[in-house]
Each structure stands twice: as structure tokens, then as C-alpha cells.
Amino acid sequence: MGGVTSSSAGGGGGGETVLGDLPESCVAEVLRRLDPPEICRMARLSRTFRGAASGDGVWEAKLPRNYARLLAAAADGEAAALEAVEAIPKKEVYARLCRRNRLDGGTKEFWLDKGGGGVCMTISSRALSITGIDDRRYWNFIPNDESRFHAVAYLSQIWWFEVRGEVEFCFPEGRPLKRLGRWVYSSEHIHGWDIKPVRFQLSTSDGQQAQSKCYLTDPGVWINHHVGDFVVKSSNEPVKIQFAMVQIDCTHTKGGLCVDSVAVKPQYLAKKKASRIYV
């Protein structure tokens, strides 16, 4: 068999096989087995690869099964989005869903992970039910440029610490990972978190539950705490997730904590080391 080159010219004489000789349908079958970033890189090789890399069959294989519902959610539930989804090239659908799509007045957002196509979601502290949040003696929302939502809930001091929230969404089938909270301590005002652990709880509308606990002992760093995993059995039915972070031992006060957000991510992303940002 002749050598393969990166030329996009058609074959002609000499028996040499070039990339331009490959049928676009064959190239598309190869691209379907690659990750999205690899598809984009392969599209640079030749016109044949570029044409195959724009095909609906390639990108539909990378989209979640419920991509039409996700696109409608990104369009704030507009009926026209569902009706027009079939007319939109699947590569464009993928690109739209990879953007950060805001929900519920900007207090939640979801997007597709560009590398693996899994759905991620973050929920702002403003969307959470926080005991004492309306009393400025205890809690305040303060600006923070490192927060995805540009503000965090800062706890000065409180006896009864309780943060709860819920979200209902059509997650794709599979095993998402739940990380509750991204918070930072103030080394000057941190107190009370080394006496009793904070308890984390997770439950879903179909009866799945998870619990964990930890002592908050790393002042001055952002921390992502893994609460637990849950399995989505149907991507066409919304699943309601309820979650909580509590420390309600009233024998001592605690404070110096910033609550940023709640994250829901596919389990494969858990293998990537969570970042810690010093402040």
C-alpha cells in the first residue's frame, strides 16, 4: 500500500494514497470515535476532513441524548427552540451548549464539558436557603472576582449553621458527581470549625442518598468538598436534587466562612485534581 500524506489533492498517478482520496463517510466514522478537541484538530488536515468534521453524524454522537431539552433550557424554555433544533447543525448545537447558560435569573448555570461532553452545573450561593441570611449581624453577600457569580455569602459569626438548596433538571443518563460548596476562610476571623465536623447531605427525588462530613481546618484556601454521587436513570425526566451543609451544635459559635457555589459534574471529571486557590 502506498504512503499516506497530508496533501488535500486528489490521487493521480504513481499509486500514492493521499488524505484527499479518503471518502468523507470513512473519515466521519473515524472522527465519531474521537473527542471533540481531537475532531477540531483533525479538521485542519484537509478539505475532506474539514467537511467530515462538520457533519451532523459526527457531532450528534457527542451530544447527550436529551440535547433538545438542554437547548430549550439554554433558550429559557422557548418553544421555538425545540421546534428549530432539528434545523440547527449539530456542531452549532454542541458549541451553544458548551457556553455557560444561565438559569433562574442568573443564579444557576450549566454547560457541556468541551472535552467529554458531560453536563456540568453550578448553583450560586444566592440560590441557596441559608439560615440567618437576612440578618447582617451574621451573613453578608460580598463581591468576589474569583467567584463565577462575582459574589459570595460571608459568615461573620453564628450559632446555628445551616445551608440548604435544591435543583430540578434533566441531567443526561449516567453518574454525575456532586461537590457541595466552594468556600474560603479568613485566617483572621476563622473560628469554631475544628470543634465539630460539618455534615453534608444529598438526596434525589428517586430515593438516592449520600452523606459525608469533614472538619474545616484549612484557613485561607478555596475547598471543593465531594458530598456524594447519584445515578441519572432517564435523561427525559427531570431529577430533583436536594442538598445541605449543616453544623447545628449550639455549644459554640463559628464564623469566618465564605460559601460560593454548589457544583454538579460528571464523575469522570472527579479524576481531575480539584484546584485550591490561596487568597
Per-residue model confidence as pLDDT tens digits over 61-88: 999 999 988 998 888 755 555 556 778 8
Instruction: Supply the pLDDT for residue 196.
Output: 92
* Global pTM value: 0.83
Name which of 138-147, 171-180, 201-210 the model is least confident about: 171-180
Sign of CA dihedral 95, 97, 103, 108: negative
Instruction: Supply the pLDDT for residue 215.
Output: 87
The whole-chain average pLDDT of the chain stands at 84
pLDDT category of residue 220 using cuts at 50, 70 and 90: confident
Q: Is 134 exposed, middle or buried (0-12, 13-18, 19+ CB in 10 A)?
A: exposed
Instruction: Supply the pLDDT for residue 94.
Output: 94
Q: Between the CA of residue 186 and those of 81, 138, 180, 196, 218, what are the distances in Å? A: 45, 15, 19, 19, 10
Residue-range domains of the chain with CATH: 24-60 (no CATH), 120-274 (2.60.120)
Q: What is the mean predicted confidence (pLDDT) over 92-110?
A: 94
DSSP state of 15: T
Q: Which ranges of 46-195 does DSSP label H, i.e. alpha helix? A: 47-53, 56-60, 67-74, 79-84, 90-98
Kindly tell me if the per-residue pLDDT of 184 is higher than 50. Answer: yes
Kindly tell me if the per-residue pLDDT of 277 is higher than 70. Answer: no
